[in-house]
Amino acid sequence: MAKVPNLFEDLKSCYSENEEYASALDHLSLDQKSFYDTSYGPLDKSCLDECESLNISETSEASNLTFEENLVVVSTSAHGKVLKKRRVNLNQNTTSEDLEAVDSDLEEEIIKPRSAPYSLQNEMRFRYLKILKKEFVLTDSIHQNIIRDSTGQHLRARAITDLSHEVKFDMGGYISATDQSTNPVTLRISKTRLFVCAQEEDQPVLLKEMPETPRVITGNDLNLIFFWETERSRNFFRSAVNSELYLATKVNSEVFMAKAPTYMKDFLIS
């Protein structure tokens, strides 16, 4: 009669073999140093808010990482103040240079809009029309003549008796395609290429030499344009670059740019 095999004996044999194999693996794992070094010292509190920069030598310059979710990077100061909060877009390829830039940027730059004059914001453009007045004399409200100063680069208001020092001007008329309500002009010393050029507030105007009468004025040359305004016999010249500033004078001083009505800003044309 055939002997019936004892299934429990076979199972016991298998278990014994597996136990020996597992024991051998445990012994091997104890003898072999782990790939990951898990012995860490306690983290210093001063390092909690610091970011450690990536070592370029340890990262591949050609490596590409694709984020499956948005990543928000936050840096804080020792007092808990948030200095930077940056979000990395979904599914964008990120190189080691990108990660280094995020880490090294300690404080996010705040971009503030720059204030620009109304005329520059609308890209004003003026086209030459014709000479409106030729070889006239400018005097201010206390009858000081507008003449060239000793350097020849600025204008000065001064009472004169010697007419040889008298300076005459030409007024060139221009037209604006965007604003028909103003009267844009240039002021040039007659028989020269020197044009009156507006500057910042309280700064003396300059005499700017141009190769010829500009046919189109825009961009950096807009400070050659003044808006000519009249009230009875008085004439005002307002800057096109800064509509708050006018040609102005003081007693025996350089002609400069000022806000009304701080100084004398009205002129007589003769």
User: pLDDT digit string (tens) for 130-178?
Assistant: 999 999 999 999 999 999 999 999 999 999 998 888 999 999 999 998 8
Confidence label for 30 from pLDDT (cuts 50, 70 and 90): very low
Residue 164: per-residue pLDDT: 85
Residue 71: per-residue pLDDT: 47
Residue 42: per-residue pLDDT: 55
Confidence label for 192 from pLDDT (cuts 50, 70 and 90): very high
Q: Which CA distances in Å does 118 have to 178, 181, 224, 242, 244?
A: 12, 15, 16, 8, 11
- Average pLDDT, integer, range 124-131: 96
Exposed, middle or buried by CB within 10 Å (0-12, 13-18, 19+), for 257?
A: buried
Q: Which CA distances in Å does 175 have to 183, 216, 240?
A: 7, 10, 13
Integer Cα distance of 3 and 81 in angstroms:
82
Confidence label for 186 from pLDDT (cuts 50, 70 and 90): very high
CA–centroid distance for 157 within its chain: 38
Integer Cα distance of 134 and 25 in angstroms:
106
> CATH 3.90.1640.30: does it fit domain 121-269?
no
- Under DSSP, the state recorded for 264 is B
User: pLDDT digit string (tens) for 237-263?
Assistant: 999 999 999 999 999 999 999 997 878
Query: Do residues 73 and 85 lie in contact, with contact meaning Cβ atoms separated by under 8 Å?
Result: yes
Torsion angle of alpha carbons 138, 142, 145, 151, nearest 10°? -120
- Average pLDDT, integer, range 125-132: 97
Residue with tokens 């009205």: 266
Exposed, middle or buried by CB within 10 Å (0-12, 13-18, 19+), for 266?
A: buried
Least confident of 9-18, 150-159, 181-190, 207-216: 9-18
- Average pLDDT, integer, range 23-37: 47
Torsion angle of alpha carbons 22, 26, 31, 37, nearest 10°? 130
pLDDT: which is higher, 119 or 26: 26
Residue intervals in the chain for CATH 2.80.10.50: 121-269
User: pLDDT digit string (tens) for 56-70?
Assistant: 444 444 444 444 444
Integer Cα distance of 92 and 36 in angstroms:
30
Residue 8: per-residue pLDDT: 52
For the whole model, what pTM was predicted? 0.57
User: pLDDT digit string (tens) for 97-118?
Assistant: 555 554 554 443 333 333 344 4
Mean pLDDT, all residues of the chain: 74
pLDDT: which is higher, 236 or 69: 236
